[in-house]
Amino acid sequence: MEKCTFCVQRIEEAKITAHARAGGSADTLIPRDSFTTACAQACPTGALVFGDVKDPESRVSKMKKQDRNYRLLEYLNVNTRTSYLARIRNPNPKMPDAANIGVASLEEKPA
Ligand code: SF4
């Protein structure tokens, strides 16, 4: 079993390609969202997004700005690289199981 390396081989390949393309110049910037991890590439629903969180215009940065974004153990000041988007639930009270739908916070309870 191996731990996730965030596909370090793909990151290194992108760095090497950018350096080779730059030649002797200092323009070694990797084009925004130009590569991704193997699991994100293979995911048929697009549930995984990989990118440069330091680039505010990258797809992953824009997704992290959503209200639904959260990280595990953040309250312990653990600064994880991976974050998640909270599940969207149907709040329609006319749905048969509306009363059984969980809530994300104690303040927010189904009608
Ligand atoms: S494919 Fe996904 S889980 Fe596997 S190393 Fe790459 S980023 Fe990590």
DSSP 84: E
* Residue to probe by mutation, ligand 1, list 1, 4, 48, 60, most atoms within 8 Å of CB: 4
Tokens of 33: 């969202």
User: How far apart, in whole angstroms, are the C-alpha atoms of residue 50 and residue 33?
Assistant: 8
Is it the case that residue 104 has pLDDT exceeding 60? no
Q: How far is the CA of 81 from the centre of ligand 1 (A)?
A: 13
* Residue to probe by mutation, ligand 1, list 13, 36, 37, most atoms within 8 Å of CB: 37
Q: How far is the CA of 1 from the centre of ligand 1 (A)?
A: 12
User: How far apart, in whole angstroms, are the C-alpha atoms of residue 66 and residue 91?
Assistant: 19
24-68 pLDDT tens trace: 899 999 999 999 999 999 999 999 999 999 999 999 999 999 999
Residue closest by Cα to atom 6 of ligand 1: 7
* pTM of the predicted protein model: 0.74
Residue 95: pLDDT band (50, 70, 90) is confident
62-91 pLDDT tens trace: 999 999 999 999 999 999 989 999 987 766
Atom of ligand 1 nearest to the CA of 38: 1
Residue 16: pLDDT band (50, 70, 90) is very high
Q: Is the Cβ atom of 80 under 6 angstroms away from ligand 1?
A: no
